[in-house]
Amino acid sequence: MASVCRKYVLFLPLFLLVHSLHAQQRDSLYFKIRDSFGSNILLSSLRKEGKKLQADHSVFYSLVVLYGMESYSNELTAREKHSLATLKHAFRQQLTKYRNPQRPRTINFWPTEPRQQFPGNDRWGRNTRRHIPDDADDNVYMRMLYSGSADPWFDSLLVSNVNGQKRWARNLPASLRDEAVYSTWLGDKMPVEIDICVLSNILLYRNHIGQPYNHYDSLSAAYIRKNYRSARYKTTARELSPQYIRYATILYHVARFLASEPGFDPKGKDADYLISELNNQLSQTDDKLTRIILASSLLRIGWEDPGIPYTIAELGSSRYSFFYANAGSVFPRPLNLIISGIERYRMPYFCFGHNYFLAWEYEVLKKRKASE
C-alpha cells in the first residue's frame, strides 16, 4: 500500500503540470475566439474564388461558433460564461441585418438590409438570379443558440420543403432522388438539395428541442445512417454533401448528430463503425485541423483521446475549409459534379475564429473525458 501511495505522489506533480498546461491552452484559445469577433460582433471569413480570396460577411461561422460554445455551457468557466453571454446579446442585434424582409422569422446566409450577396464579386452580387434563399443550416443554428423550445411554424417550413413536396432532388444518383428527407433550402428559387451534413444539423436541432422524431425526421436519420459511409469516396462526398464536401467534416457532423440522439450507445453498432472510420481517417492525414475534428468526434462518441499535438500558430495559418459555397450544387447530376470540380465554382471558406473554436472544443472534450 505504501509503495502504491508513493507512486501516486510521484506522478501527482506531473498530472498537475499537464492539467495546468491544458487549462492555459484552453484559455488562450478562448481569448483568440473572443477577439476574432470584431467590433461588428461577426466572425470574419474568406471565400476563395479560383485564385482570388474575397472578404466575406456571412453569418454562418458566427452562428456555428456561438452555438458550439453554448452547447458546452455546463462545462464553461465563469469567465467564459460571462463573455459568451455578452457576445450572444451583441450578436443578436446583428442578426436583424440578415432577416428575411418577406419572412422575418428566418435569416439569410448574407445580409438582407441592405442586400449584399457574394461580397467582392460585383457581377454575381448584381445578378439576382444567383441570389440564394434562406437555408436550413443558419436557421437551425440560430434557434439552437437562442431557444430550447419547439417552433411549430419553423418545423412546418422545414416539412414544406421536404424532397418531393414541390419537386425532387436532382443532385443525387437516381437511387437516392426519391428519398423524402429535408432540403438545404427554405424557398422555391433553388432546386431541392439534399446534403447529409445539413440533415445532421436539422436532426441535431430536433434533438436539441427534445421533440420526438416525426415521419421526415425518421426518414432523414435513416438516410444519414445508410449513406454517410459512401462519402469516403471523393466524388460521392461532393454528391452527398455539396456544401461541406470533406469526408472528415461529414464524419464530424454525423458523430455530433448521433451523439445527440436520446439513448445513443457508445458501444452500439453506430459507434463501432464510426470509431473504426474515424481512426482510419486519422491514420491517413497529417493536416492539423482535420486531425483535431476527427479526434473531437472520437471523444464525442465515447472513445479515448488519440492525442493531437498542435500550436495556436498552426491554427492561425491553416487553410482547412469547413464549408464550401458550391455553385455546382444547383445543377442536376452529372453537371453538378463537373461544375463543382472546377475550382472557381467550388468556393472554400476559411475562418480563423472557427479554427480556434475547433481546437477549443477539442480541449473541452478532452477534459470531459478525463473527468469520467
Give 201-218 pLDDT, tens digit per residue: 999 999 999 999 999 999
Span 158-176, average pLDDT: 92
Q: Measured in Å, how far apart are the chain's first and last C-alpha atoms?
A: 25
Model pTM?
0.91
The residues, ordered by sequence, that sit 6+ positions from 248 with a Cβ below 8 Å of its Cβ are 281, 285, 290, 293, 294
Among candidate residues 87, 89, 110, the one with its CA nearest the CA of residue 100:
110
Q: Which residue has the higher pLDDT, 328 or 200?
A: 200
Residue 12's pLDDT is 42
Q: In what order do the strands lie in the sheet with 52-56?
A: 52-56, 45-49, 346-350, 323-326
Confidence of residue 120 (pLDDT cuts 50, 70, 90): low
Number of Cβ within a 10 Å radius of residue 86: 13
Among candidate residues 218, 223, 282, 216, the one with its CA nearest the CA of residue 248:
282
Across-strand partners of 107?
99
Residue 330's pLDDT is 72
pLDDT digits (tens, 9 = 90+) for 220-261: 999 999 999 999 988 889 899 999 999 999 999 999 999 999
- For the chain, list the domains and their CATH numbers: 2-370 (1.50.10)
Whether residue 130 has pLDDT greater than 80? no
